[in-house]
């Protein structure tokens, strides 16, 4: 069974993107690809280096720089959970339209060196977030530790008790478990109240540990895991009912950070073709039998409802945004993924599934 050859949908929202420092050559390269992908709203991650976004003023300045690159995208801004943030800053953030505060467990991923060791010292900030309705965005991994038996393969599962602890302590806090990669994470999110949701990336709907083992462009944090985990993610997409929505974690790195002398930077770049990757992954899942055919049936427009919800509606609703006003058309096989994107200052970023045919996007 295949999907239909084209879909008309509301513009998509990508609730987890990395656009890097702006102004800057990577931001200049990737920001204009957001709308090309059929997306008009993005939640922007604050883990910039050498300094993360830790104040409202910085977030708004970053937002203005991004607007200069493409004014027709809505940029939901976030702060990096850091000891310098006060409850008062949270209230200012709310007033300024900041959408969330991202918590990085220290040492778990790219630019997490200023991150959280324990949530205890953030009690007042978290209470202010709960009151103000500012979302807590969680990178849901504990740092790897040989002594504790934690590796990239179980770091997410080991984080879930931390998630449950936060929910117990701050029961009204809106929480996104970002980039779920395991059956355990899906189950945890499902078991919690409606103020707790999960984002799912495009690439984790396709990749397994084997794929990144031999391909640096497939390596990311949290890393892709087992066939059972991928199946759980795919089923979370088609049975989401608002609990899961798209957050690509598109993470552009210059080719030298992937293929250069040093260690491999974590991140898969999916921004320009994000929706096509999702549709391809769902079709591949149908072929493998990982999701039931009925879950994407076109006879009862179940396919359109799933795509509309996961790609556009559920994320906007969770962040309190109105529905999309513009529409897009996705057309099978009318685009080819570039071998790489080249920008100013010699930067070069290799996209996921480089060279493959994918779904083209038209704005209506």
Q: Which stretch binds a second copy (CB under 8 A): 165-173, 177-185, 209-217, 310-318?
A: 209-217
Q: Which stretch binds a second copy (CB under 8 A): 119-127, 146-154, 183-191, 237-245?
A: 146-154
Does 47 engage in binding with a second copy (CB under 8 A)?
no
Of the pair 10, 222, the CB lying nearest a second copy is at 222
Name the minimum Å distance from CB 327 to a second copy. 35
Does 232 engage in binding with a second copy (CB under 8 A)?
no
Q: Which stretch binds a second copy (CB under 8 A): 10-18, 140-148, 293-301, 314-322?
A: 140-148
User: Secondary structure of the chain in the HEC alphabet?
Assistant: CCCCCEEEEECEEEEEECCCCCCCHHHHHHCCHHHHCCEEEEEECCCCCCCCCCCHHHHHHHHHHHHHHCCCCEEECEEECCCCCCHHHHHHHHHCCCCEEEECECCCCCCCCCCECCCHHHHHHHHHHHHHCCEEEECCCCCCECCCCECCCCHHHHHHHHHHHHHHHCCCCCEEECCCCCHHHHHHHHHCCCCEEEEECCHHHCCCHHHHHCCHHHCCCCCCCCHHHHHHHHHHHHCCCCCEEECCCECCCCHHHHHCCCCCCCCCECHHHHHHHHHHHHHHHHHHCCCCHHHHCCCCCHHHHHHHHHHHHHHHHHCCCCCCCCEEEEEEEEEECCCCEECHHHCEECECCCCCEEEEEEEC
8 A C-beta contact, residue 214 and residue 202? no
Which of 50, 72, 168, 214: binder of a second copy (CB under 8 A)? 214
Which of 264, 295, 327, 334: binder of a second copy (CB under 8 A)? 264
Does 287 engage in binding with a second copy (CB under 8 A)?
no
Which of 43, 170, 212, 352: binder of a second copy (CB under 8 A)? 212
Does 357 engage in binding with a second copy (CB under 8 A)?
no
Q: Which stretch binds a second copy (CB under 8 A): 74-82, 86-94, 182-190, 220-228?
A: 220-228
Name the minimum Å distance from CB 290 to a second copy. 8
Could you give the string, one character per residue 298-337, with x where binding to a second copy holds by CB under 8 A and - elsewhere? ----------------------------------------
Of the pair 32, 143, the CB lying nearest a second copy is at 143
Does 355 engage in binding with a second copy (CB under 8 A)?
no
Name the minimum Å distance from CB 294 to a second copy. 21
State the residues that interact with a second copy by CB under 8 A: 144, 146-147, 149, 151-153, 208-210, 212-216, 219, 223, 226-228, 230, 259-261, 263-266, 288
């Amino acid at each position: 069974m295949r999907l239909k050859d084209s879909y008309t949908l509301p513009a998509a929202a990508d609730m987890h993107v990395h656009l890097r420092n702006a102004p800057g050559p990577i931001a200049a390269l990737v920001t204009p690809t957001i709308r090309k992908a059929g997306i008009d709203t993005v939640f922007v991650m604050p883990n910039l280096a050498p300094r993360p976004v830790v104040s409202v003023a910085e977030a708004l300045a970053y937002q203005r720089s991004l607007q200069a690159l493409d004014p027709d995208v809505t940029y939901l801004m976030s702060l990096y959970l850091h000891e310098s943030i006060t409850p008062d800053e949270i209230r200012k953030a709310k007033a300024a339209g900041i959408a969330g505060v991202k918590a990085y467990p220290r040492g778990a991923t790219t630019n997490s060196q200023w991150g959280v060791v324990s949530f205890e010292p953030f009690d007042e900030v978290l209470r202010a977030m709960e009151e103000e309705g500012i979302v807590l965005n969680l990178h849901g991994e504990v740092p790897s530790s040989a002594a504790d038996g934690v590796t990239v393969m179980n770091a997410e599962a080991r984080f879930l008790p931390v998630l449950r602890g936060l929910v117990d302590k701050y029961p009204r806090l809106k929480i996104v478990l970002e980039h779920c990669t395991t059956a355990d994470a899906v189950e945890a999110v499902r078991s919690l109240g409606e103020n707790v949701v999960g984002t799912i990336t495009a690439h984790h709907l396709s990749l397994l540990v084997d794929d990144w083992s031999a391909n640096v462009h497939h390596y990311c944090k949290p890393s892709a895991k087992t066939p059972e985990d991928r199946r759980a993610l795919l089923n979370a997409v088609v049975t989401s009912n608002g609990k899961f929505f798209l957050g690509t974690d598109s993470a552009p790195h210059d080719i030298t950070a992937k293929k250069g002398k040093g260690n491999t930077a974590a991140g898969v770049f999916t921004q320009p073709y994000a929706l096509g990757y999702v549709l391809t992954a769902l079709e591949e899942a149908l072929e493998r039998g990982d999701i039931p055919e009925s879950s994407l049936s076109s006879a009862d427009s179940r396919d359109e409802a799933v795509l509309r919800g996961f790609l556009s509606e559920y994320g906007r609703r969770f962040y309190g945004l109105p529905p999309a006003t513009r529409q897009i058309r996705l057309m099978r096989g009318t685009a080819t993924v570039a071998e790489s994107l080249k920008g100013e200052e010699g930067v070069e970023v290799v996209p996921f599934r480089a060279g493959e045919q994918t779904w083209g996007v038209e704005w209506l």
